[in-house]
Homo-oligomer: A and B are copies of this chain.
């Protein structure tokens, strides 16, 4: 597909493993990428730096980092409202909606992606959710993604005028993290650029839920995690 007429897609990029893999899949499908990262008052800026590195490595057309202080309205361990859980067992992690759940996060992310898609003329919006690994998060399920797609096609001017049809693309929704890693490796994605740890710093902690899930997934995929751990 020539550069001039490549189809555009908006990709939500957090700097984490799933969104980076999703972006690599979108690029492999031939889309010209418009990446959107939300700086929502995370505990540290390491994730934003990772998002920038991933975006650059994938040759995105534009990368917008949007500041929105979600801490004001949505309290959660991830936005600094309470403690990040460390050293939890796998059964504790999977038994309930995690303390790192951010209220309505994917609804907010997708609504911003829709605004951006409408502005740049993209019809495909990619998000890296998985209902396998994140079964505790209601807004990671297929049902939610489908409901948002219906909403988008009622909300946006171009859809109502019949000149666009929005598709919410969640290529990892039925994949576990190990599968995602295998796909990313095939596509040449450099996972040393991604960041999963809930804490900041030079090296990942290896102890928070997110590090533990990441390490377990790399082990299952039979691949060495290129990230440095403390």
Select one of B73, B74, B114, B139 contacting A103, CB under 8 A. B114
Looking at the assembled complex, report how far the CB atom of A73 sits from the nearest CB atom of chain B, in whole angstroms: 4
Nearest B residue to A38 via CB reads: B68
The residue in A73, A144, A156, A159 that gathers the most chain B C-beta atoms within 10 A of its C-beta is: A73
B residues near A139, Cβ cutoff 8 Å: 154-156
Count of chain A residues with Cβ under 8 Å from any Cβ of B?
45
Number of copies: 2
Please tell me which one of the listed residues B73, B110, B154 contacts residue A115 in the complex, with CB atoms under 8 A apart: B73
- Tell me the minimal C-beta distance from A40 to chain B in angstroms: 10
The residue on B at minimum CB distance from A146 is B154
**Complex formed: what's the CA distance from A72 to B64 in Å?**
7
Q: Using Cβ atoms and an 8 Å threshold, which residues of chain B touch A73?
A: 36, 64, 66, 112, 115-116, 119
Q: Does A101 contact B (CB under 8 A)?
A: yes
**Contact partner, A154, options B143, B155, B161, Cβ 8 Å:** B143
Q: Which 10 A-B pairs have CB atoms at the shortest separation, nearest pair first?
A: A104-B115, A103-B118, A73-B116, A138-B160, A107-B111, A74-B115, A103-B115, A104-B114, A111-B111, A108-B111
A-B contact pairs, 6 of them (CB 8 A): A70-B115, A73-B112, A73-B115, A103-B118, A106-B155, A144-B151
